[in-house]
A and B are shown apart, each in its own frame.
Chain A
Amino acid sequence: MFEKILIANRGEIACRVIKTARRMGIKTVAVYSDADADALHVEMADEAVHVGAPPAAQSYLLIDKILAACKATGAQAVHPGYGFLSEKAEFCNALEAAGIAFIGPSVRAIGAMGDKIESKKLARAAGVSTVPGVLDVIPNAEEAVKIAREIGYPVMIKASAGGGGKGMRIAWNDAEAREGFQSATNEARSSFADDRVFIEKFVTEPRHIEIQVLGDKHGNIIYLGERECSIQRRHQKVIEEAPSPFLDAATRKAMGEQAVALAREVGYHSAGTVEFIVDGARNFYFLEMNTRLQVEHPVTELITGVDLVEQMIRVAYGEPLSLTQDDVKLNGWAVEARVYAEDPTRGFLPSIGRLSHYRPPAEGADEHGWIVRNDTGVYEGAEISMFYDPMIAKLCTWAPTRIEAIHAQRAALDGFYIRGISHNISFVSAVLGHARFQEGRLTTGFIAEEFPDGFHGATLDAASRDALTAVAVATERRTAEREVQISGQSPFHGRVLPPDWVVTIDGDERAVVVDLAKGGYDVTFEGRLLAIRTDWLPGRKLLRGTVNGRAVVVQVDALADGFRLFHAGADIIAVVRSPRAAELARLMPVKVPPDTSRLLLCPMPGLVVSINVELGEEVKAGQTLAVVEAMKMENVLKAERDGKVAAVKAKKGDSLAVDQVILEFEGPGPRRRPARGRVTP
């Protein structure tokens, strides 16, 4: 076996590979850029080599630097992870020339699968079902219409070199086919400098289901079941699961065997993924083959018990597969949620900065045998950098059934405490809690269809509202019970805690009666008993307990008045008061926060270094609007959403105060959530 391997990657995947290598007794070498000097993968590896500046093109993508690092450390093989150099044929060639093993497929396979049209032709040759269509380059609009008619509408016109939704058009009739051909060609030319387009059948109710294959250098190829990755946001997978709730055994077998046939066609070895699009009638069509380890591979590992990274390393060393197709048994259900540093309530804008709090749920099996696995490359106090993918972690759960795996995932998300940057935990929890998701009625349009206006926090179901009522009472009572133990009280004149309270959850009042019970409280609300049992104490960020016997995990941030509670995708403010205080609180004016959505305000006192937009300019979300310097630090102010500049109120060299207006935008700003309570500083 290899004695030492280098991982030409960063973040969670580098850490994940190091874990397996370490278990196999293989020494590991990490590479890192300036931005990753303190990263987890650097700390975990036995050795680490600096490869350059933060931008990937100046570090992780530099083949020479990676080769030099291999030579300097004596690494015998390289695992490329995913992304970066993982599917670069020239990297494989360079390694081969240097006598270093590539832990991945052959150059031939990478090359064959790297081209969308070539790969489809190969797939057809191998008897793999492909989307009806014409893979030849379409010469003109009339030809496009003719082909479209032959295939039958709707059709998709796609750029050969396309990706990320660019150069793609859907046509439902001749006119749209003609128009779509033109615009797809234009877009392909400007985006990829390659204006070749082709036409294929547009699949309705599409699901993204992919088959994991694994081959060795001795001609053995097996498939390890499928993963359903239909939950996507702008072609970015968010939630994946294995198996798919949609496939029957026959379809699975057919897809698996076709995937193996394709792999055999290109002499595939190592781990690979054959992606299919599946329509509502379980017709499946080949999309593409990814010649690397997939981000979402852990769900396959959880239901098959196979460590894919270990298999890749063994295959690269030349070992034959120890598994046959008959050994592959799918056991239970696994769900993965990708935890991203982004703000789901602001159009999923990436959020970068310091993870002031990062407390993942405990990994391993619980008393039911349900498993939590968290693949990450960060730690509390680490930095989410602007230079790389803003993924914080891949949280996976396993349970015997799908619904249990979903419940396990939601419970794990409830216990995943991240602060300092925005994250999508509430969003993925809301998706997992969605009835349509739980029924397994998925398509790749799920998020766009179910969250058409974006995400504004999940609404609480009745059970969760009850649970949070009880949680609010418990947190307030425990806090008050400690307050009344303060020293220096007038003897016999202490404060008595009465049984009657009013719980206000986001404006909705509930009068409750609270009785002390062993290990918690019996909360009576409208004649119903909500029995909460918890060991929560003031200051704890997580409340774990039961409400009427049902387990709950709630994140608790103490506010100046009340608590901000996070649970099941909901983010609410709960205030618990005496009935009299609640009555008086009702007299307080409701203050509407001033609408600042149309303004760019100066976030700190400072000097304007530049105003980067002009009057009347249309700006896009994420675009730099202005730069303000405070004590030699430059702060880049970016647009939160699209808009048009209506007024420029400051100029270069101006000295501004906090909240001074820099720019005004036209029209009513998009709906914003009302300002929330402050987190107790």
Chain B
Amino acid sequence: MQHILRELESKREEARLGGGQRRIDAQHAKGKLTARERLELLLDAGSFEEYDTFVEHRCSDFGMDQQKIPGDGVVTGWGTINGRQVFVFSQDFTVFGGALSEAHAEKICKVMDMAMRVGAPVIGLNDSGGARIQEGVASLAGYAEVFSRNVLASGVVPQISVIMGPCAGGAVYSPAMTDFIFMVKDSSYMFVTGPDVVKTVTQEELGGAITHTAKSSVADNAFENDVEALHQVRRMFDFLPLSNKEKPPTRPVYDEPDRIEPSLDTLVPANANKPYDMKELILKLVDEGDFFEIQPRYARNIITGFARIEGSTIGIVANQPMVLAGCLDIDSSRKAARFVRFCDAFNIPLLTLVDVPGFLPGTAQEYGGIIKHGAKLLFAFAEATVPKVTVITRKAYGGAYDVMSSKHLRGDVSYAWPTAEIAVMGAKGAVEIIFRSELGDPEKIAARTAEYAANFASPFKAANRGFIDEVIMPHSTRRRVARAFAMLRNKELANPWKKHDNIPL
């Protein structure tokens, strides 16, 4: 009996070594951790429960029957993050370069199926050279099986991808269909067609972390190294519910919900064209100033991310006057729309902070399809049934006012600061249209502009109509917002039955 137990232990030892010490050292030399080391950092100590340790590939072509390594290049199972369940797979670059075989794919599918059954998120740590070419179509079939599960799990359990090495070709489409992609700077790459084909650029320029976080928006954030990346995924995980059937988690909070912030009374500058940092409002508004930003380097004219109010997760969408005056454009609309839909899918209430002068004009925007891209954000806010609270700090002009979670899109509570200007456009522009015939007379125009500003460059016209529920003091924003979300805790709202909607993609 004892020797059988010993045999299990020795087989496990062998499996834990993956591709062997030499390859582990090579992995370390590249500044990368091994698949199992990564899981140690991602999961609570001792919580990892491994499955399919001894799965091997079934390929016999090209001498592959001589090379079998238990686990076949991916470590799968489940564990906990701060005690909450999560399913994981971690590709092992030391085994066949992490290449995906049919068996490798089956292991991933197995944990995804379990995650769906029990309602727990899936975190994939990607570090793979691509398809196991020796297996041919069997490997491709494996990818498609994974893709198919990504799609079915979408909106059911949160899926997070961390790219920690290469991820190229068709393989990119699995992370692409998950909810969030994080990358590691200088050691991770994603591209459909590699630098061998696209010859004019480096691997880094084509698909490095900076490219995907700042240019393509494929990735949601990038971190310095494996340790930091996994720590950040743990931090983000604490914001998310386990599935679409659950409310977001709560935890004790050491920040008074009625904390007054007198400095917010001077946040909006007297000069309407002077920018201010919307992040200051976010940090002073949320619990303990703790904000997990999504896509911080992309379309910085809009801010998206997770925070907590009274210990419960909220999603924040905020115009950023510091960048492009906070206007909406193609990039910011797409970025925010996707974030809003994630929050709505997973019951995360939405707080929208508005200072938007309108849509960015120009041929680049029109040719790029701002009409359809802008519509995405409008669509996302309108279809969302989670609690929606909006605070207008300054400009809410034109169609952009409608888009930014306005009352008319089933916004639940809309507040405005006294500095808010809710109007079709700025006074100057409006007067130039309405009083075009008087344009030759600067005195008249000045008077008209002042009249328009007095009438519309305030929150009170909108408040008269009930489009704004209350004009609030900036310093009491946290208390007001906290009470609004408390009031909305048991909100129930359903959309009409449909197979699915047809968001303008």
Chain A: residues with CB nearer than 8 A to chain B?
Answer: 37-38, 354-358, 379-383, 482-490, 493-496, 498, 537-540, 558, 560-561, 578, 580-581, 584-585, 587-589, 591, 604-605, 630-633, 658, 680-681
A604–B46 alpha-carbon span in the complex (Å) = 46
Which of B274, B288, B293 touches A539 (beta carbons < 8 Å)? B288
A404–B296 alpha-carbon span in the complex (Å) = 47
For the complex formed, measure the closest distance between the CB of A575 and the CB atoms of chain B, giving whole angstroms. 9
Against A, the Cβ 8 Å flags (1 = close, 0 = not) of B267-296 are 100100111110110010001111101001
A sample of 7 more A-B contacts (CB under 8 A), given A560-B232, A589-B31, A680-B290, is A495-B47, A539-B254, A580-B45, A584-B227, A587-B33, A588-B225, A605-B324
Q: Is the beta-carbon distance between A495 and B82 smaller than 8 angstroms?
A: yes
- Residue with the greatest number of chain A CB neighbours at <10 A, chosen from B28, B40, B227, B305: B227
Q: Is the beta-carbon distance between A495 and B80 smaller than 8 angstroms?
A: yes
B62-70, B194-202, B242-250, B443-451: which one contacts chain A?
Answer: B242-250
Q: Is the beta-carbon distance between A493 and B263 smaller than 8 angstroms?
A: no
For the complex formed, measure the closest distance between the CB of B155 and the CB atoms of chain A, giving whole angstroms. 19
For the complex formed, measure the closest distance between the CB of A49 and the CB atoms of chain B, giving whole angstroms. 19
Q: What are the residues of chain B within 8 A of A540 when measuring CB–CB?
A: 254
Q: What are the residues of chain B within 8 A of A539 when measuring CB–CB?
A: 254-255, 287-290
A604–B40 alpha-carbon span in the complex (Å) = 39
- Residue with the greatest number of chain B CB neighbours at <10 A, chosen from A498, A538, A681: A681
Against A, the Cβ 8 Å flags (1 = close, 0 = not) of B215-248 are 0000000011111100110010010011000100
Which of A489, A581, A633 touches B80 (beta carbons < 8 Å)? A489
A488–B83 alpha-carbon span in the complex (Å) = 8
Q: Is the beta-carbon distance between B264 and A381 smaller than 8 angstroms?
A: yes
Supply 21 A–B pairs (Cβ within 8 Å), ascending by A.
A356-B263, A379-B262, A382-B266, A483-B82, A486-B249, A489-B82, A490-B84, A493-B80, A494-B44, A495-B80, A539-B254, A539-B288, A540-B254, A560-B223, A561-B228, A561-B232, A580-B40, A580-B45, A591-B186, A632-B325, A633-B275
Q: Is the beta-carbon distance between B287 and A560 smaller than 8 angstroms?
A: no
For the complex formed, measure the closest distance between the CB of B452 and the CB atoms of chain A, giving whole angstroms. 20
How many residues belonging to B are interface residues under a CB distance threshold of 8 Å? 65
Q: What are the residues of chain A within 8 A of B241 when measuring CB–CB?
A: 488
- Give 7 closest A-B pairs by Cβ, nearest first: A539-B288, A381-B263, A489-B83, A589-B31, A494-B83, A631-B325, A537-B254
Q: What are the residues of chain A within 8 A of B275 when measuring CB–CB?
A: 631, 633
- Residue with the greatest number of chain B CB neighbours at <10 A, chosen from A487, A578, A658: A487
Q: What are the residues of chain A within 8 A of B323 when measuring CB–CB?
A: 604-605, 630
The chain B residue sitting closest to A633, CB to CB, is B275
Q: Is the beta-carbon distance between A484 and B83 smaller than 8 angstroms?
A: yes
For the complex formed, measure the closest distance between the CB of A642 and the CB atoms of chain B, giving whole angstroms. 30
For the complex formed, measure the closest distance between the CB of B361 and the CB atoms of chain A, giving whole angstroms. 12
A356–B281 alpha-carbon span in the complex (Å) = 10
Q: What are the residues of chain A within 8 A of B228 when measuring CB–CB?
A: 560-561
Q: What are the residues of chain B within 8 A of A38 when measuring CB–CB?
A: 266
For the complex formed, measure the closest distance between the CB of B501 and the CB atoms of chain A, giving whole angstroms. 29
- Is B41 part of the contact surface with A, judged by Cβ < 8 Å? yes
Q: What are the residues of chain B within 8 A of A490 when measuring CB–CB?
A: 80, 83-85
- Is B252 part of the contact surface with A, judged by Cβ < 8 Å? yes
A483–B37 alpha-carbon span in the complex (Å) = 22
Q: Is the beta-carbon distance between A633 and B274 smaller than 8 angstroms?
A: yes
A486-B84 in contact given A495-B45, A584-B37, A584-B40 (Cβ < 8 Å): yes
- Is B408 part of the contact surface with A, judged by Cβ < 8 Å? no
A380-B324 in contact given A495-B82, A591-B224 (Cβ < 8 Å): no
Q: What are the residues of chain A within 8 A of B276 when measuring CB–CB?
A: 354
Q: Is the beta-carbon distance between A538 and B85 smaller than 8 angstroms?
A: no
- Is B14 part of the contact surface with A, judged by Cβ < 8 Å? no
Q: What are the residues of chain A within 8 A of B274 when measuring CB–CB?
A: 633
For the complex formed, measure the closest distance between the CB of A174 and the CB atoms of chain B, giving whole angstroms. 59
- Is B12 part of the contact surface with A, judged by Cβ < 8 Å? no
A419–B26 alpha-carbon span in the complex (Å) = 44
